[in-house]
Homo-oligomer: A and B are copies of this chain.
């Protein structure tokens, strides 16, 4: 049993706890496996993301180049904490990956190990609160050749005192790209996804609800970026089991 943080039919998550909550960033630049290139863009991503998340009142913790056992130790420690005074949690993973796997410094692991630690039964003090995940990692080797759009002449129940929720409710997981496709980055701006996310959070982060923000992040990545030589494109993908709207309004 978890405390009922929102009334049964509230349209919005309660976002006025004592604290906004933790934001963990697991950032990987160097890898033991020589086949994995150094991620030079991760420093600028870390900087941008930390700055924007602090503006939204998150308490940001940056972890660089952790070994897999230390990633999981940090995840378990965080899931075991008492988050009762927190609105929500956000976890970002910036690394190499393929499909359902991402790389720590020494080895790959299933990225869903991260969110499975925060289901309502595993982390009761976050039950009924938004649990937000950002994954900046290739999901495979396929590349999106894009599609050209050009202007043309226009032609055309019971009691409300107690209730139960599914354990996987209240998650939003955003991948920088869809399964099997790769993602891109820019040596100055950082990865397209984190750069666009930070631009959107800076412009509208306290104004729009989260799913609308993420829609406009997808628009920025889809429309504004393509690779120089081949013109490859990238589409951001969000999986949501949220049951209310998330807003990071001023506290």
B-chain residues with CB within 8 Å of residue A147 when the two chains form the complex: 2, 119-121, 124, 127, 164-167
Produce 1/0 per residue, A198-215, CB < 8 A to B. Answer: 000000000001011011
Number of interface residues of A (CB under 8 A): 69
Say if the beta carbon of A61 comes within 8 Å of chain B: no
Say if the beta carbon of A17 comes within 8 Å of chain B: yes
CA distance A218 to B11 in the complex (A): 12
CA distance A181 to B238 in the complex (A): 19
Say whether chain A's binding surface is mostly helix, strand, loop, or mixed: loop
Cβ B169 vs Cβ A235 within 8 A: yes
CA distance A11 to B218 in the complex (A): 12
A148's closest neighbor in chain B, by CB?
A: B1
CA distance A158 to B244 in the complex (A): 37
Say if the beta carbon of A33 comes within 8 Å of chain B: no
Write the nearest CB–CB distance from A156 to chain B, whole angstroms. 5
CA distance A135 to B21 in the complex (A): 34
CA distance A235 to B156 in the complex (A): 16
- One of B120, B211, B241 near A212 (C-beta < 8 A): B211
- 7 A-B pairs with least C-beta separation: A120-B147, A166-B235, A166-B233, A219-B243, A146-B164, A211-B211, A4-B149
